[in-house]
């Protein structure tokens, strides 16, 4: 199928071609037609499958058929600044040849530019709940003209405790509107919200729901005591290969800062991103990583969704997430759009139960890997955590490629192992 077959306005199709879209992804193929028909849609698809374009394209087409009003005619509500900006970026790029205006509204930045955009008039708004309500409460943003509502990454919205804000936003909208709920997973709380918002919705599920991960991702778990995680991480980076890029997840903001400093001292160009960083710092870190100025981006789960970066070769869980679903969101940053990628996890003894929970929702065991020439030490807290006999190496990381030495300077990616 091609984008031409949807019957989208030629001006929109011109923007599609300029963005390099060749053919619709499965979620786009299933979601765009009912959205164009004005139906409510509830869609679930894993990260990296093109959900944003799946609702932006038909919204642009529908808005072209109406007249401009005082307030926005389409509203996209997202849980994080990065997701709100991602939708705004898609709107800007796909509407280059369309007379429609969009604006991104989120916290962490100054009010005046947003106020100017709202004063000039916008057709579409992509916003986080808090800043959206700030503008609405001050009378700067009227929502009575909204024809289409999108709740983006609804499961993450629930996880972050935004349900009360979402309900307040719903109370400000006209009753008659089209409702679109997009999510990576559809746990029961998200389904209840979607059922309350949508009417006779078309339900779309791409993949296996909450357990779905991109097929091109290779998983590996590296058992190691916590005291040696940094040492092992540096060793893995040394073996990765020329042109490798790594998104490294930590559980806390403080640990992200400390790990980034340690990697910097080791000579690895590293950026850091978490909730305590200003929006300008987060944007700068993301852009420097995207263009290759930094080889590594260390981040908390704020980066588990909404990062549209091509060619991330490795996602590394320096800390295992407490919520197993977050493992799926994290590793979805690599292996995007049918590409391949590696997902490495450093597992300390106290984290083994969390890996077991991940394996339970994935419904298969993740391979454990040891490095034959890595010296495993004894923990002063947990005792020895030298890999057990069934953690056997099958090959040394780097065996698939040529050369060696240095993250981004040669070598190749790590290998896996099997259970006896």
> Which residue's entry shows tokens 């590409």?
339
Domain shared by 288 and 344, yes or no: yes
Write down which residue in 179, 210, 241 finishes a domain.
210
Residue 397 has pLDDT above 50, yes or no: no
Query: What is the C-alpha separation between 412 and 339, in angstroms, rounded?
Result: 17
Contact present, 345 and 320 (Cβ < 8 Å)? yes
* DSSP string for residues in 203-259: EEE-SSGGG---TTEEEEEEE--GGGHHHHHHHHHHHH-TT--EEEE-SSHHHHHHH
- Give 83-102 pLDDT, tens digit per residue: 899 899 889 988 889 889 99
Q: Of 65 and 333, which is predicted with more confidence?
A: 65
In the chain, the N- to C-terminal Cα span, in Å, equals 45
Q: In angstroms, how far is CA 1 from the centroid of its own chain?
A: 26
Query: What is the C-alpha separation between 272 and 248, in angstroms, rounded?
Result: 9
Domain shared by 223 and 298, yes or no: yes
What pLDDT is recorded for position 240? 83
Report, as an integer, the average pLDDT of 295-323.
83
Contact present, 124 and 91 (Cβ < 8 Å)? yes
Report, as an integer, the average pLDDT of 328-355.
80
Domain shared by 283 and 391, yes or no: yes
Query: What is the C-alpha separation between 311 and 309, in angstroms, rounded?
Result: 7
Report, as an integer, the average pLDDT of 345-360.
90
pLDDT band at 395 (very low <50, low <70, confident <90, very high): very low
Domain shared by 106 and 241, yes or no: no
Domain shared by 306 and 260, yes or no: yes
Domain shared by 408 and 286, yes or no: yes
Ranges 30-44, 282-296, 372-386: which has the least confidence: 372-386
pLDDT band at 403 (very low <50, low <70, confident <90, very high): very low
What pLDDT is recorded for position 3? 93
* DSSP string for residues in 25-80: -HHHHHHHHHHHTT--EEEE--TTS-HHHHHHHHHHHHHHTS---SS-SEEEE-SS
Domain shared by 234 and 353, yes or no: yes
Does this model's pTM top 0.75? My answer is no
Contact present, 155 and 190 (Cβ < 8 Å)? yes
Contact present, 107 and 85 (Cβ < 8 Å)? no
Residue 151 has pLDDT above 90, yes or no: yes
**Mean of per-residue pLDDT scores for the chain:** 83
Indicate the number of domains in the chain: 2
Contact present, 368 and 419 (Cβ < 8 Å)? yes
* 233: its two tokens: 């991480």
Residue 382 has pLDDT above 60, yes or no: no
Write down which residue in 176, 195, 210 finishes a domain.
210
* pLDDT above 90 coverage of the chain, percent: 46
Domain shared by 259 and 359, yes or no: yes
> Which residue's entry shows tokens 């006896």?
420
Report, as an integer, the average pLDDT of 318-345.
78
What pLDDT is recorded for position 380? 57
Domain shared by 51 and 70, yes or no: yes
Q: Which residues have a Cβ under 8 Å from the Cβ of 26 and sit 6 or more positions away?
A: 45, 49, 206
pLDDT band at 155 (very low <50, low <70, confident <90, very high): confident
Domain shared by 141 and 220, yes or no: no
What pLDDT is recorded for position 420? 28
Domain shared by 188 and 239, yes or no: no
Phi, psi (rounded to 5 degrees) for 192: -65, -45
Contact present, 249 and 330 (Cβ < 8 Å)? yes
Segments forming the whole domain that contains residue 340: 215-418
Residue 248 is part of a domain; what is its CATH number?
Answer: 3.40.50.300
Domain shared by 38 and 25, yes or no: yes
What pLDDT is recorded for position 203? 93
Write down which residue in 173, 194, 210 finishes a domain.
210
Residue 397 burial by Cβ neighbours in a 10 Å radius (0-12, 13-18, 19+)? buried
Query: What is the C-alpha separation between 208 and 201, in angstroms, rounded?
Result: 20
Phi, psi (rounded to 5 degrees) for 285: -65, -45
Query: What is the C-alpha separation between 312 and 244, in angstroms, rounded?
Result: 8
- Give 253-275 pLDDT, tens digit per residue: 999 999 999 999 999 999 998 88
Q: In angstroms, how far is CA 79 from the centroid of its own chain?
A: 11
Contact present, 77 and 150 (Cβ < 8 Å)? yes
């Amino acid at each position: 199928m091609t984008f031409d077959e949807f019957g989208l306005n030629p001006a929109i199709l011109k923007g599609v071609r300029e963005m390099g879209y060749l053919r619709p992804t499965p979620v786009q193929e299933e979601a765009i037609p009912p959205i164009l028909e004005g139906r409510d849609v509830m869609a679930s698809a894993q990260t990296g499958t093109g959900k944003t374009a799946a609702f932006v394209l038909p919204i642009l087409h529908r808005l072209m058929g109406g007249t401009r009003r005082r307030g926005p005619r389409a509203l996209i509500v997202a849980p994080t600044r990065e997701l709100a900006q991602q939708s705004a970026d898609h709107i800007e790029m796909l509407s280059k040849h369309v007379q429609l205006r969009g604006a991104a509204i989120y916290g962490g930045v100054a009010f005046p530019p947003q106020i100017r955009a709202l004063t000039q008039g916008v057709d579409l708004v992509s916003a986080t709940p808090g800043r959206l309500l700030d503008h609405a409460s001050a009378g700067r943003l009227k929502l009575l003209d909204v024809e289409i509502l999108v709740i983006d990454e609804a499961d993450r919205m629930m996880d972050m405790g935004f349900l009360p804000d979402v309900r307040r936003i719903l109370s400000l909208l006209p009753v008659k509107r089209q409702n679109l709920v997009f999510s990576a997973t559809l746990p029961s709380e998200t389904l209840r919200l979607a059922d309350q918002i949508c009417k006779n919705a078309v339900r779309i599920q791409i993949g296996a729901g909450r357990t779905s991960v991109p097929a091109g991702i290779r998983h590996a778990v590296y058992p190691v005591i916590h005291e040696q995680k940094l040492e092992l991480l540096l060793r893995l980076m040394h073996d990765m290969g020329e042109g490798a890029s790594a998104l490294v997840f930590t559980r806390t903001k403080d640990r992200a800062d400390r790990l980034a400093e340690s990697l910097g001292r080791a000579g690895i160009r590293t950026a850091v991103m978490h909730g305590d960083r200003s929006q300008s710092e987060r944007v700068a870190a993301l852009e420097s990583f995207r263009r290759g100025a930094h080889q590594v981006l260390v981040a908390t789960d704020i980066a588990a969704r909404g990062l549209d970066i091509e060619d991330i070769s490795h996602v590394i869980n320096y800390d295992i997430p407490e919520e197993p679903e977050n493992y799926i969101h994290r590793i979805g940053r690599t292996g995007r759009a049918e590409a391949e990628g590696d997902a490495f996890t450093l597992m300390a003894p106290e984290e083994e139960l969390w890996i077991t929970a991940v394996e339970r929702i994935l419904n298969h065991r993740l391979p454990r890997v040891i490095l034959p020439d890595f010296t495993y030490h004894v923990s002063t807290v947990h005792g020895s955590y030298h890999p057990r006999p069934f953690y056997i190496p099958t090959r040394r990381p780097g065996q698939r490629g040529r050369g060696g030495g240095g993250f981004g300077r040669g070598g190749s990616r790590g290998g896996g192992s099997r259970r006896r």
